[in-house]
Structure 1
């Protein structure tokens, strides 16, 4: 009976974590470049159930009843990096990556971050920055990394993805990774301790990549998870009532 309480409770905890991840996806459905998370589940090890009710010649023997599943838990939360739909904005400082890779940016302490969110702005010094204030990195004509400083906000990408900057022709530094090496950071950024490769993905100006969250899929999953949570909750309540009767009624003197 007590074991059943733990199994039902583990199911409720698991569904709660799933619901929280789906809620975060819903909250970021309109965030450009956002990638949804998927929760992987695992079952705990099965337990062999047996008793010694079988008695032969006054001796009790083990009687195997079968195996019992010990419930379900969270195995891992993995990010789905599939491409989102590109939406035209006609804003000159909006950019979208069509293909693999991430824009490479640095904060004021030169810590590198990676993002698919291409909403940029230009500061008073002409530096191209993210809306959070991180500087955007590019590659100069010598293929060296450099901060992007543009002469004016009307710069245009050429057919090969290059553009004129204060330091001559440059391209965006698009970094690609084995996605297992990436970790989500705050504000739609990713971090990695591994060395990235340079991707030759197409960068489109005047576009933004929408999040890859499917609203219908998320709502359907939320309904399913809520029903599973309620089922585990009812089982838990019934077991609690049974235990209450056992403690208060069984063996009482009448």
Structure 2
């Protein structure tokens, strides 16, 4: 009975974590380039040995890790010439104070010096360094391969980076990602020359499906309630076993 209560608590903890993740997805349903996240759950059999050498099993249920769904979001036209959407593979490469990071959020602007920056003020990489244009110059156009033109003169090319699949990327805030450092060198970024198209005047919206998330939240809540009732039932049974059945007459 005690182990049953432990399993119930583990199940309730898992559902609480899942609901927190769903709530985060719903909060970012309108965040440009956001990728939904979910949990992997695992059940582990622990084998314990007592002082007499007897082995018993104990099952542990826990949230193993958070994973990110990197499927494409819907592309929406904005008409802003500094909005860019990647269709296909890859990430925009930007420089943060803490180092290089990657994002699918292409809602850019120009700073006073003419550098292309993200909404957080981080500079965007091109093949030749940070992309810089003349703020007082003429029309800015970006081709599908990422080539940046001003007054029909080539300035640079957006650096679109990609990583081996499946992606092992860590969210580092502000809708940025970095590759996991596993020491093998297998998740090193590589600049793309194909497999994607840049759409100027468009943004990739979040890939969160609100209906799917709400359905998942309701389902998770029902599992939580059922597990809580099971734990209450086991607790009542244990109480009777201790205070009634075990009472000395």
TM-score, normalised on structure 2? 0.84
**Residue in structure 2 matched with residue 60 of structure 1 by the alignment:** none
**Residue in structure 1 matched with residue 130 of structure 2 by the alignment:** 147
Contact 2:113–2:135 (CA under 8 A) maintained in structure 1: no
Q: CA deviation at 1:184?
A: 1.0
1:173 aligns with 2:168: no
Contact 2:91–2:103 (CA under 8 A) maintained in structure 1: yes
Deviations 1:185-233 (A, max 9, x none): 1010001244211123211110000111111111111111100000110
1:112 partner SS: strand
In 2, Cα distance between equivalents of 1:25 and 1:123: 31
Contact 1:8–1:71 (CA under 8 A) maintained in structure 2: no
In 1, Cα distance between equivalents of 2:114 and 2:57: 65
Q: 1:197 aligns with which of 190, 197, 205?
A: 190
Contact 1:91–1:206 (CA under 8 A) maintained in structure 2: yes
In the TM superposition, 1:18-57 aligns within 5 A as 18-45=18-45
Q: CA deviation at 1:122?
A: 0.8
* Root-mean-square deviation over aligned CA pairs: 2.5
Q: CA deviation at 1:243?
A: 2.1
In 1, Cα distance between equivalents of 2:91 and 2:42: 31
Deviations 1:34-56 (A, max 9, x none): 11112222222288xxxxxxxxx
Q: CA deviation at 1:137?
A: 0.5
**Residue in structure 1 matched with residue 234 of structure 2 by the alignment:** 239
Q: CA deviation at 1:108?
A: 4.1
In 1, Cα distance between equivalents of 2:68 and 2:97: 27
**Residue in structure 2 matched with residue 75 of structure 1 by the alignment:** 64
In 2, Cα distance between equivalents of 1:227 and 1:100: 37
Structure 1: segments with no counterpart, 5+ residues: 48-66, 140-144
In 2, Cα distance between equivalents of 1:219 and 1:83: 20
In 2, Cα distance between equivalents of 1:155 and 1:188: 26
Contact 1:184–1:190 (CA under 8 A) maintained in structure 2: yes
**Residue in structure 1 matched with residue 50 of structure 2 by the alignment:** none
In 1, Cα distance between equivalents of 2:146 and 2:207: 24
Q: CA deviation at 1:93?
A: 1.1
Tell me the number of residue pairs that the alignment of Structure 1 and Structure 2 aligns: 230
In 1, Cα distance between equivalents of 2:235 and 2:143: 69
In 2, Cα distance between equivalents of 1:80 and 1:159: 25
Contact 1:43–1:69 (CA under 8 A) maintained in structure 2: no
11-20 vs 147-156, which moves further: 147-156
Q: 1:87 aligns with which of 76, 80, 88?
A: 76
Q: 2:212 aligns with which of 190, 208, 217?
A: 217
